[in-house]
Amino acid sequence: MKQSLRAIKKEATASALSEAAFQLALEHGMDGFVVEDVVQRAGYSRRTFANHFSCKEEAVVMAGEHFHRMEEYFEMISQLPEDTTPLEVMYQFIKMQLTEEVLRRIYQILELSKIYPSLMPHTLTLLNRLQNGAKLMLSELFGDRYPAGYNHFLAGAVCAAIIPMLDGSVHVQLPGLPSGDKEESISFDEYIDSMFTYLRDGF
């Protein structure tokens, strides 16, 4: 279903505000700016900011929500064979959503969250939105063809496996980011492929 013009404008406003907050956080740290700085940079009022975000922390984190719209994804997977499984659909979903830009943004947000713990609740919300988007997509595509809870389990398992890659618990070389000194790092594609191999074959 296509978005209305009003919804598109609302999303664009939120995106501009969150982008301004995110850039200010990178430039000055969370203690180096206030909401007034955000609205001045984005060109909106404090009232408009309050219509979209509860605080500057939420605005900063939501800059990581540059995911593809679900209608774009449905168009892509409509070209897959009819017997494609939910697991294979999730594989395509993750490959499409976790672009180099999205990975870099989420990584930067997680790094900021380590320094400024007030960001963490909003960071968890961001990751939860990715998971909920996956659940919605699976439910729309497969309905009740699989046991109750299957789509929730699959989306949860995949999204949970992504977090260690982003927070550095697992040494994965993310696209567009410096490699550092971790010689044992594997590539992003290798990590995703191995993760889905485990899900296909069992642990």
pLDDT in tens, 183-203: 578 888 999 999 999 998 876
Burial of 113 (0-12, 13-18, 19+ CB in 10 A): buried
Rounded Cα distance, 169 and 132, in Å: 23
Residues 153, 108 share a domain: yes
Q: What is the pLDDT of residues 113-128, one digit of tens each?
A: 999 999 999 998 988 8
pLDDT for the residue 69: 57
DSSP 20-42: HHHHHHHHH-GGG--HHHHHHHH
Residues 118, 56 share a domain: no
pLDDT for the residue 39: 98
Mean local confidence (pLDDT), 47-75: 84
67 to 94, 102, 127: CA distances (angstroms): 10, 7, 11
Residues 90, 5 share a domain: no
* CA–centroid distance for 154 within its chain: 17
Would you say 95 and 192 are in contact if contact means Cβ atoms under 8 Å apart? yes
pLDDT for the residue 74: 67
Q: Tell me the residue range of the domain where 14 lies.
A: 1-63
Specify the DSSP element, H or E, that contains 134: helix 120-142
Other CB atoms within 10 A of residue 138 CB = 21
pLDDT for the residue 64: 87
Residues 94, 192 share a domain: yes
* Total count of residues recorded for the chain: 203
| Residue 114 three-state SS | helix
Q: Would you place residue 147 in the very low, low, confident or very high pLDDT band (cuts 50, 70, 90)? A: confident
Q: What is the pLDDT of residues 150-193, one digit of tens each?
A: 988 999 999 888 888 888 888 888 887 776 555 578 888 999 99
Residues 185, 112 share a domain: yes
Other CB atoms within 10 A of residue 119 CB = 23
Other CB atoms within 10 A of residue 178 CB = 7
103: its two tokens: 């990975």
> What's the domain count of the chain?
2
164 to 41, 158, 170: CA distances (angstroms): 34, 11, 5
Rounded Cα distance, 135 and 138, in Å: 5
Residues 124, 29 share a domain: no
Report whether pLDDT(59) > 60. yes
Other CB atoms within 10 A of residue 142 CB = 15
Q: Could you tell me the CATH number of the domain that includes residue 154?
A: 1.10.357
pLDDT for the residue 32: 97
Residues 57, 120 share a domain: no
Burial of 71 (0-12, 13-18, 19+ CB in 10 A): exposed
Q: Which of 8-22, 29-43, 57-71, 164-178 ranks highest by mean pLDDT?
A: 29-43
pLDDT for the residue 61: 95
Rounded Cα distance, 152 and 163, in Å: 17
